[in-house]
Chain A
């Protein structure tokens, strides 16, 4: 399987003086917080209806929809629940469900 480049969550949060870089310069794609808490609704993909046209993946501003087994899946750690994917899907394969 090909590994794809993507900024990712890290365990270590640099905070002490000695851990901070000398200049404002640091490893690219270093994430320490998620965006899941922003969401009041979440996109749920109906894998039966999905034909893998990838339009939701293409138009997601956060890039949280990824290709999986010819169809798509959502990275809920970073999805903000904007709903663009639901609107773009011509097959009605995406529903927005209330977060509890």
Chain B
């Protein structure tokens, strides 16, 4: 069957009229996933940007069934929804969660790990904007090295966040999950294919999508998609899948775009020294060495 494209994508809109900032990458990730999954999706959103902008009674912006969970409880509430519907004899639905980087890699990682361990039949999508944006741009464990946030200010003594970004994709894969993938809101064809593929797999599925936040990253509202492409093109993010115990690289840039250009266009990285940029380049190359060793290459586009 041919992969879903913009021409075959449902014209239904399920996430509409929300109050996300203009140019929000996270809302794009939600919108497209729901269009792929369709009206029989039951969405769980923890406390965070997407629930804050979509669920203010009486302005309710999800056209499908949707519920806010506790911050730590995205995966566990998905589990209950899936089990509850199945117990009631209903099987033709998608239980899908959308949590940010903090809700996934920090406070929600325990419940997520539990759900994967049980292999609950749910799809968990992490929209990663690399900090706690809803509360005003604080560092999470997915904030990259060097990024300035309100809790990792860039000053004379400390130049922003000193720790590297946690590798959630590979942490998830280490559970032996049936399907995991990375994606970017800059490459929606790839993302749509992955959401569609995940929707047809039984058991736990995880998709980690980079979703720039103009407010938190310090870019213009019209740069979201461009920057989301550039992070892939410069090699600081990669498009990959994990399936049947194998890592698959979907897209290998023939030549990396300039890391420095990607960094310097964002206010959160503007303070970095040339040495910092060189360090980030070095870490990227180390990561890609490991990718070449451990990932198979297969382009399905």
Contact = CB atoms under 8 A, between A and B. Distances in A.
Contact of A58 (B24, B32, B223): B32
Nearest to A21: B57
A14 B6 contact: no
A82 B221 contact: yes
Interface stretch (B58-66, B130-138, B149-157): B58-66
A84 B20 CA distance: 14
A57 B6 contact: yes
Contacts of A81: 22, 221
Contacts of B59: 30-33
Contact of B22 (A33, A38, A58): A38
Interface stretch (B8-16, B159-167, B201-209, B230-238): B8-16
Interface in B181-229: 185, 188, 214, 220-226
A62 B16 contact: yes
A62 B222 contact: no
Given A54-B7, A61-B224, A78-B17, A29 B31 contact: no
B149 to A, nearest CB: 22
Main secondary structure of the interface of B (DSSP, over half): loop
A48 interface: no
B60 A63 contact: no
B23 A59 contact: no
Nearest to B38: A5
Given A6-B63, A7-B60, A78-B16, A61 B11 contact: no
Interface of A: 2, 4-7, 9, 13-14, 24, 26-35, 38-39, 53-55, 57-63, 66-67, 78, 80-84, 86-88
Given A7-B17, A31-B17, A62-B31, 18 more contacts: A4-B11, A6-B16, A7-B61, A14-B58, A27-B60, A29-B63, A30-B60, A35-B19, A38-B22, A53-B6, A54-B7, A59-B225, A61-B20, A63-B31, A66-B11, A78-B17, A83-B221, A83-B222
